[in-house]
Chain A
Amino acid sequence: MTTSLSWNDGTTDKLYLTYAASEGTQTVAVTSDAHTGYIERSRDIVFQVTAGGTTISRTLTVTQLGKDITIITRNDVYITDNEVAVGYE
Protein backbone atom coordinates (compact mmCIF):
# COMPACT_ATOMS: atom_id res chain seq x y z
CA MET A 1 0.00 0.00 0.00
CA THR A 2 1.06 3.55 -0.54
CA THR A 3 0.43 6.51 1.71
CA SER A 4 0.87 9.97 0.29
CA LEU A 5 1.65 12.98 2.42
CA SER A 6 1.83 16.63 1.54
CA TRP A 7 5.17 18.38 1.76
CA ASN A 8 3.38 21.27 3.43
CA ASP A 9 5.55 23.71 1.50
CA GLY A 10 2.85 25.45 -0.44
CA THR A 11 3.13 23.11 -3.41
CA THR A 12 0.92 20.23 -4.36
CA ASP A 13 3.92 17.91 -4.29
CA LYS A 14 3.57 14.71 -2.32
CA LEU A 15 5.73 12.32 -0.42
CA TYR A 16 4.94 8.66 -0.95
CA LEU A 17 5.54 5.82 1.50
CA THR A 18 5.11 2.35 0.10
CA TYR A 19 4.98 -0.75 2.31
CA ALA A 20 3.43 -4.20 2.35
CA ALA A 21 1.16 -3.78 5.37
CA SER A 22 1.03 -1.55 8.39
CA GLU A 23 1.92 -4.32 10.80
CA GLY A 24 5.13 -5.80 12.08
CA THR A 25 8.60 -5.25 10.73
CA GLN A 26 9.22 -4.25 7.15
CA THR A 27 10.88 -1.83 4.80
CA VAL A 28 9.16 1.36 3.80
CA ALA A 29 10.17 2.96 0.50
CA VAL A 30 10.04 6.74 0.62
CA THR A 31 9.76 8.61 -2.65
CA SER A 32 8.58 12.03 -3.68
CA ASP A 33 7.37 14.06 -6.53
CA ALA A 34 10.26 15.79 -8.18
CA HIS A 35 11.26 18.98 -6.43
CA THR A 36 11.44 21.83 -8.93
CA GLY A 37 12.39 24.46 -6.42
CA TYR A 38 15.91 25.38 -5.48
CA ILE A 39 15.58 25.30 -1.75
CA GLU A 40 15.59 21.96 0.01
CA ARG A 41 12.46 21.07 1.91
CA SER A 42 11.85 18.90 4.92
CA ARG A 43 9.04 17.42 6.87
CA ASP A 44 8.67 15.05 9.74
CA ILE A 45 6.74 11.84 9.33
CA VAL A 46 5.42 10.27 12.52
CA PHE A 47 5.19 6.49 12.88
CA GLN A 48 2.95 5.47 15.72
CA VAL A 49 1.70 2.36 17.51
CA THR A 50 -0.92 2.10 20.21
CA ALA A 51 -1.25 -1.02 22.34
CA GLY A 52 -2.33 -1.70 25.86
CA GLY A 53 -3.16 1.95 26.42
CA THR A 54 0.34 3.02 25.47
CA THR A 55 1.23 5.07 22.42
CA ILE A 56 4.73 5.07 20.98
CA SER A 57 5.82 7.49 18.29
CA ARG A 58 8.97 7.68 16.20
CA THR A 59 9.76 10.53 13.86
CA LEU A 60 11.38 10.24 10.46
CA THR A 61 12.78 13.45 9.07
CA VAL A 62 12.73 13.55 5.28
CA THR A 63 14.69 16.17 3.44
CA GLN A 64 14.48 16.60 -0.29
CA LEU A 65 17.27 18.50 -1.93
CA GLY A 66 16.45 21.42 -4.17
CA LYS A 67 16.92 21.37 -7.88
CA ASP A 68 20.48 22.05 -8.95
CA ILE A 69 21.05 25.61 -10.01
CA THR A 70 22.75 25.84 -13.36
CA ILE A 71 24.51 29.11 -13.89
CA ILE A 72 25.58 30.21 -17.30
CA THR A 73 27.72 33.25 -17.76
CA ARG A 74 27.25 35.23 -20.92
CA ASN A 75 28.76 38.58 -21.28
CA ASP A 76 29.27 38.65 -17.56
CA VAL A 77 25.59 38.15 -16.92
CA TYR A 78 24.72 35.24 -14.69
CA ILE A 79 21.71 33.36 -15.94
CA THR A 80 19.94 30.52 -14.27
CA ASP A 81 18.75 27.49 -16.15
CA ASN A 82 15.40 29.10 -16.73
CA GLU A 83 17.24 31.95 -18.31
CA VAL A 84 16.38 34.51 -15.74
CA ALA A 85 19.18 36.91 -15.20
CA VAL A 86 20.24 36.77 -11.65
CA GLY A 87 23.14 39.17 -11.50
CA TYR A 88 25.89 41.17 -13.09
CA GLU A 89 29.50 41.22 -12.50
Chain B
Amino acid sequence: MAYASWVNPNKTTGNGNDTVAWTGSAHTGRTARTTTATFSASGVESKTLTIIQAGATEFVTIDATAAVAKSGGTLTITGTSNSSKLTFSLTGTNGIGLVLPSSYTANSVTTNNGAAITGDPGAVQQYAFSITFTGIDENTSISALTSQLTVTANGSQTATCDITQAAGDAYLTISPTTINLTAAGTAVSVTVTSNTSWSIS
Protein backbone atom coordinates (compact mmCIF):
# COMPACT_ATOMS: atom_id res chain seq x y z
CA MET B 1 0.00 0.00 0.00
CA ALA B 2 1.28 3.43 -0.90
CA TYR B 3 1.85 5.90 1.88
CA ALA B 4 -0.09 9.14 2.05
CA SER B 5 1.15 12.18 0.23
CA TRP B 6 1.57 14.11 3.48
CA VAL B 7 4.68 12.06 4.35
CA ASN B 8 7.91 12.12 2.47
CA PRO B 9 10.80 9.68 2.97
CA ASN B 10 14.30 10.85 2.21
CA LYS B 11 14.80 7.76 0.10
CA THR B 12 12.60 5.13 -1.47
CA THR B 13 15.27 2.56 -2.34
CA GLY B 14 18.25 1.17 -0.55
CA ASN B 15 20.54 -1.77 -0.05
CA GLY B 16 21.40 -3.50 3.16
CA ASN B 17 21.18 -1.79 6.49
CA ASP B 18 20.07 1.81 6.22
CA THR B 19 18.01 4.54 7.83
CA VAL B 20 14.99 6.20 6.25
CA ALA B 21 13.98 9.62 7.51
CA TRP B 22 10.33 10.53 7.24
CA THR B 23 9.01 14.07 7.24
CA GLY B 24 5.43 15.23 7.08
CA SER B 25 3.70 18.34 5.84
CA ALA B 26 2.12 20.48 8.51
CA HIS B 27 -1.07 19.02 9.87
CA THR B 28 -3.69 21.59 10.75
CA GLY B 29 -6.50 19.24 11.69
CA ARG B 30 -7.29 18.52 15.32
CA THR B 31 -7.15 14.77 15.10
CA ALA B 32 -4.12 12.60 14.44
CA ARG B 33 -3.72 11.10 11.00
CA THR B 34 -2.21 7.77 10.07
CA THR B 35 -0.67 6.21 7.01
CA THR B 36 1.37 3.08 6.32
CA ALA B 37 4.44 2.48 4.20
CA THR B 38 5.50 -0.90 2.98
CA PHE B 39 9.13 -1.99 2.71
CA SER B 40 9.64 -4.74 0.18
CA ALA B 41 12.66 -6.77 -0.82
CA SER B 42 13.03 -9.71 -3.12
CA GLY B 43 12.66 -13.04 -1.43
CA VAL B 44 11.56 -11.75 1.95
CA GLU B 45 8.27 -10.87 3.57
CA SER B 46 7.26 -7.23 3.23
CA LYS B 47 7.32 -5.05 6.34
CA THR B 48 4.86 -2.33 7.16
CA LEU B 49 5.64 0.97 8.86
CA THR B 50 2.77 2.87 10.46
CA ILE B 51 3.25 6.63 10.55
CA ILE B 52 1.09 8.74 12.86
CA GLN B 53 1.07 12.51 12.83
CA ALA B 54 -0.36 14.22 15.89
CA GLY B 55 -3.27 16.59 15.54
CA ALA B 56 -2.83 20.33 15.80
CA THR B 57 -3.92 22.32 18.77
CA GLU B 58 -7.35 23.77 18.34
CA PHE B 59 -7.15 27.37 17.17
CA VAL B 60 -9.03 30.25 15.63
CA THR B 61 -7.70 33.34 13.92
CA ILE B 62 -9.52 36.29 12.45
CA ASP B 63 -8.66 39.51 10.65
CA ALA B 64 -7.08 41.72 13.29
CA THR B 65 -8.66 44.85 11.88
CA ALA B 66 -11.42 45.72 9.46
CA ALA B 67 -12.68 48.97 8.03
CA VAL B 68 -16.17 50.12 7.17
CA ALA B 69 -16.75 52.96 4.74
CA LYS B 70 -18.28 56.08 6.22
CA SER B 71 -21.25 55.44 3.98
CA GLY B 72 -21.81 52.09 5.71
CA GLY B 73 -22.93 49.08 3.68
CA THR B 74 -21.45 45.62 3.95
CA LEU B 75 -18.43 44.26 5.78
CA THR B 76 -16.98 40.77 5.53
CA ILE B 77 -14.45 39.51 8.07
CA THR B 78 -12.52 36.33 7.44
CA GLY B 79 -10.47 33.88 9.47
CA THR B 80 -9.30 30.33 9.80
CA SER B 81 -9.85 27.66 12.41
CA ASN B 82 -9.89 23.95 13.04
CA SER B 83 -12.57 24.07 15.68
CA SER B 84 -15.78 22.10 15.52
CA LYS B 85 -17.81 25.13 16.47
CA LEU B 86 -17.42 28.88 16.31
CA THR B 87 -19.35 31.47 18.25
CA PHE B 88 -19.31 35.12 17.27
CA SER B 89 -20.11 38.00 19.57
CA LEU B 90 -19.80 41.76 19.61
CA THR B 91 -17.64 42.80 22.52
CA GLY B 92 -16.86 46.15 24.04
CA THR B 93 -18.61 49.28 22.89
CA ASN B 94 -20.49 48.75 19.66
CA GLY B 95 -20.05 52.28 18.39
CA ILE B 96 -20.87 51.36 14.81
CA GLY B 97 -24.12 49.74 15.84
CA LEU B 98 -23.40 46.46 14.12
CA VAL B 99 -26.05 43.78 14.21
CA LEU B 100 -24.59 40.31 14.60
CA PRO B 101 -25.62 37.98 11.75
CA SER B 102 -27.34 34.77 12.77
CA SER B 103 -25.10 32.74 10.49
CA TYR B 104 -21.71 32.70 8.86
CA THR B 105 -19.83 30.59 6.34
CA ALA B 106 -17.44 27.85 7.47
CA ASN B 107 -15.62 25.77 4.88
CA SER B 108 -18.07 27.17 2.29
CA VAL B 109 -21.08 25.94 4.27
CA THR B 110 -23.59 28.30 5.85
CA THR B 111 -23.55 27.66 9.58
CA ASN B 112 -25.58 29.11 12.39
CA ASN B 113 -23.63 31.13 14.88
CA GLY B 114 -22.61 28.85 17.75
CA ALA B 115 -23.74 25.66 16.04
CA ALA B 116 -21.59 22.63 15.28
CA ILE B 117 -20.09 22.88 11.81
CA THR B 118 -21.44 20.27 9.47
CA GLY B 119 -18.91 17.48 8.86
CA ASP B 120 -16.48 18.94 11.40
CA PRO B 121 -13.93 19.89 8.70
CA GLY B 122 -11.49 21.11 11.33
CA ALA B 123 -10.93 17.56 12.49
CA VAL B 124 -8.85 16.86 9.39
CA GLN B 125 -7.61 20.29 8.38
CA GLN B 126 -8.05 23.94 9.03
CA TYR B 127 -10.82 25.69 7.14
CA ALA B 128 -11.61 29.23 6.17
CA PHE B 129 -14.62 31.04 7.54
CA SER B 130 -16.22 34.40 6.96
CA ILE B 131 -18.94 36.45 8.53
CA THR B 132 -20.69 39.27 6.73
CA PHE B 133 -22.38 42.26 8.26
CA THR B 134 -24.96 43.92 6.04
CA GLY B 135 -26.98 47.08 6.28
CA ILE B 136 -24.37 48.99 8.22
CA ASP B 137 -25.61 52.52 8.72
CA GLU B 138 -23.79 55.57 7.45
CA ASN B 139 -21.63 57.31 10.00
CA THR B 140 -23.37 60.62 10.44
CA SER B 141 -20.95 61.84 13.08
CA ILE B 142 -17.65 63.52 12.42
CA SER B 143 -15.83 60.97 14.58
CA ALA B 144 -14.62 57.53 13.59
CA LEU B 145 -16.65 54.75 15.19
CA THR B 146 -15.40 51.43 16.50
CA SER B 147 -16.78 48.01 17.32
CA GLN B 148 -15.13 44.72 18.15
CA LEU B 149 -15.98 41.23 16.95
CA THR B 150 -14.83 38.24 18.96
CA VAL B 151 -14.92 34.67 17.74
CA THR B 152 -14.67 31.84 20.24
CA ALA B 153 -13.73 28.31 19.30
CA ASN B 154 -15.26 25.22 20.88
CA GLY B 155 -12.21 24.92 23.11
CA SER B 156 -12.61 28.52 24.30
CA GLN B 157 -9.79 29.90 22.16
CA THR B 158 -10.66 33.43 21.07
CA ALA B 159 -9.67 35.95 18.44
CA THR B 160 -10.82 39.51 18.01
CA CYS B 161 -11.21 41.93 15.14
CA ASP B 162 -11.21 45.67 15.77
CA ILE B 163 -13.60 47.31 13.35
CA THR B 164 -13.42 50.98 12.48
CA GLN B 165 -15.85 53.06 10.51
CA ALA B 166 -14.46 56.22 8.97
CA ALA B 167 -15.73 59.55 10.23
CA GLY B 168 -18.71 60.98 8.43
CA ASP B 169 -18.91 64.37 6.80
CA ALA B 170 -19.88 67.45 8.74
CA TYR B 171 -23.22 68.97 7.82
CA LEU B 172 -25.01 72.17 8.63
CA THR B 173 -28.46 73.40 7.75
CA ILE B 174 -30.54 76.29 8.97
CA SER B 175 -34.27 76.73 8.61
CA PRO B 176 -35.63 79.09 7.58
CA THR B 177 -32.89 80.98 5.81
CA THR B 178 -34.71 84.30 5.84
CA ILE B 179 -36.61 85.84 8.72
CA ASN B 180 -38.37 89.12 9.33
CA LEU B 181 -38.28 90.83 12.68
CA THR B 182 -40.80 93.38 13.76
CA ALA B 183 -39.56 96.86 14.50
CA ALA B 184 -39.79 95.96 18.16
CA GLY B 185 -37.40 93.07 17.59
CA THR B 186 -39.66 90.29 18.84
CA ALA B 187 -37.90 86.91 18.83
CA VAL B 188 -38.07 84.62 15.82
CA SER B 189 -36.75 81.07 15.99
CA VAL B 190 -34.31 79.50 13.56
CA THR B 191 -33.52 75.78 13.65
CA VAL B 192 -29.86 74.86 13.23
CA THR B 193 -29.15 71.24 12.35
CA SER B 194 -25.57 70.03 12.52
CA ASN B 195 -23.42 67.15 13.69
CA THR B 196 -20.68 69.35 15.03
CA SER B 197 -20.08 72.63 16.74
CA TRP B 198 -20.93 75.73 14.74
CA SER B 199 -20.16 79.39 14.97
CA ILE B 200 -21.99 82.58 14.08
CA SER B 201 -20.51 85.61 12.44
Interface residues of A (CB under 8 A from B): 3, 5, 17-19, 22-36, 45-52, 54, 56-68
Contact = CB atoms under 8 A, between A and B. Distances in A.
Interface of B: 142, 167, 169-174, 177-201
B183 A54 contact: no
Contact of B174 (A18, A23, A24, A47): A47
Contacts of B190: 27-30, 60
A29 B179 CA distance: 11
Contacts of B186: 31
A49 B170 contact: yes
Nearest to A57: B172
B178 to A, nearest CB: 5
A30 B181 CA distance: 8
8 contacts: A19-B192, A23-B198, A25-B192, A35-B184, A49-B171, A52-B170, A62-B178, A66-B183
Contacts of B191: 25-28
A47 B199 contact: yes
B183 A51 contact: no
Contact of A65 (B171, B174, B183): B183
B183 A64 contact: yes
A64 B183 CA distance: 6
B198 A32 contact: no
User: Most A CB atoms within 10 A — which of B167, B171, B196?
Assistant: B196
Contacts of A5: 200
A3 B74 CA distance: 44
Contacts of B178: 60-63
B181 to A, nearest CB: 4
Contacts of A56: 170-172
Given A32-B185, A56-B170, A46 B180 contact: no
Nearest to A17: B200
A49 B174 CA distance: 12
